[in-house]
Amino acid sequence: MKKTLIATTAISVGALMLSACGSSDGGSASGKDDGKITMGFAQVGAESGWRTANTKSIQDSAKEAGITLKFSDAQQKQENQIKAIRSYIQQKVDVIAFSPVVETGWDTVLLEAKRAHIPVILTDRAVDSKDTSLYKTFLGSDFVVEGKKAGQWVVDNAKDADTNGDGKIDVVQLEGTTGAAPAIDRGEGFADATKANPAIKVVASQTGDFTRDGGKKVMETFLKTQKHIDVLFAQNDDMGLGALEAIEAAGLKPGQDIKIITVDAVHDGMQALADGKFNFIVECSPLLGPQLMDLAKKVVAGQEVEPRILTEETTFDQAQAKEALPTRKY
Ligand code: AHR
């Protein structure tokens, strides 16, 4: 009796914690051996168009796969994600999936999941942990490659990218969330690719937290503090779209006076590219839901899965964006 009370209290505290950071529950009771799968998904937040498309893909695919989804939105805070994961452990879900807001600091909670025999799947972003037994697989993009593709565009278009013709290509960078895998890796890939041309220099780099508002505010500062900007590398479309507003408000023409490269290829970003306001987008696919549900079924059934599953992605220039836009899914 006492035990039951303690267990019930723990679950209610967990449920409370989940609702505090925004959650929804597919309904059916978990932890039962009824052949049905319940997944606890701890999402980063709703910071960007990419994230909205990713959440929709996960929710739609869970429904299609007959998987009960317990979903929480961590509002870009690691402590909220940890609370959500602990709550899923208490609720004895069959599988936990999450996209870690930052790379480090996950070992303790992932060990708790392992001890509870609940498999964990990483989606979209990786964790930086030496113990790879803490999760079954990681499904998502290679962010270093994405950064390299962005940097390669500047190398390949160096003449055009030198917008004031002074022989130097001054780049400003809008970084994603500090400590997040895509921010670290895209920055690294961009720096690596642009090493090929010593004229290319990142003269300022600051986080815009992957949001439009963040991108706008940081770009306003860059425009005030930099003598001249040839290129903006925004590590996602939303920050690039926010920066567009700042550039236009400063009386400059985005895409001409300042060349703009972004990552994601969500609808609004592709529209800006088709309109000539962006110059190049590196695609990062948010449509991870169907593959995630297949993996969940396999790991719950105790089947072996590949430890790393890469997403297939492309790039878009302005003409390609015009062509792709009418049939773009997100
Ligand atoms: O982790 C993927 C990144 O997170 C996307 O590029 C960005 O838009 C999102 O917020």
DSSP string, 203-244: EEEEE-TTSHHHHHHHHHHHHHH-S---EEEESSHHHHHHHH
CB 212 near ligand 1, within 6 Å: no
Q: Provide the β-strand partners of residue 38.
A: 68
- Check whether 155 has a pLDDT greater than 90: yes
Can you tell me the distance from the alpha carbon of 9 to that of 7, in angstroms, rounded to the nearest whole number? Answer: 5
| 174 CA from centroid of ligand 1 (Å) | 13
Q: Provide the β-strand partners of residue 201.
A: 170
- Check whether 186 has a pLDDT greater than 90: yes
Split at pLDDT 50, 70, 90, the class of 32 is low
CB 215 near ligand 1, within 6 Å: no
| 123 CA from centroid of ligand 1 (Å) | 12
Residue nearest ligand 1's atom 3 by CA: 182
Say if CB 116 and CB 135 are below 8 A apart. no
CB 236 near ligand 1, within 6 Å: yes
| 101 CA from centroid of ligand 1 (Å) | 10
Give the residue, out of 50, 102, 149, 237, with the most ligand 1 atoms within 8 A of its beta carbon, to mutate for a pocket test.
Answer: 50
Percentage, residues of the chain above pLDDT 70: 90
Mean pLDDT of 227-255: 98
Handedness of CA 127, 121, 20, 24 (dihedral sign): positive
Say if CB 40 and CB 297 are below 8 A apart. no
Give the residue, out of 52, 73, 124, 211, with the most ligand 1 atoms within 8 A of its beta carbon, to mutate for a pocket test.
Answer: 124
The SS3 of residue 78 is: helix
Out of 22-36, 60-74, 226-240, 268-282, least confident range:
22-36
Give the pLDDT score at 33. Answer: 62
Query: Which tokens sit at 278?
Result: 């962006």
Atom of ligand 1 nearest to the CA of 264: 6
- Long-range contacts of 109-115, Cβ-Cβ distance < 8 Å, separation of 24 or more: 109/82, 109/85, 110/85, 110/134, 110/135, 112/85, 112/86, 113/85, 113/89
Can you tell me the distance from the alpha carbon of 18 to that of 319, in angstroms, rounded to the nearest whole number? Answer: 44
Contacts of 159 (CB under 8 A, 6+ apart): none
Atom of ligand 1 nearest to the CA of 266: 8
Helix (H) or strand (E) holding 39: strand 38-43
CB 47 near ligand 1, within 6 Å: yes
CB 83 near ligand 1, within 6 Å: no
- Check whether 18 has a pLDDT greater than 60: no
Contacts of 315 (CB under 8 A, 6+ apart): 149, 153, 280, 281, 282, 283
* CA separation, residue 36 to residues 39, 194, 290 (Å): 10, 50, 17
| 43 CA from centroid of ligand 1 (Å) | 12
The alpha carbon of 273 is separated from its chain's Cα centroid by a whole number of angstroms, namely: 20
Q: What is the largest CA-CA distance in the chain?
A: 79
Q: Provide the β-strand partners of residue 41.
A: 71, 97
Can you tell me the distance from the alpha carbon of 87 to that of 42, in angstroms, rounded to the nearest whole number? Answer: 10
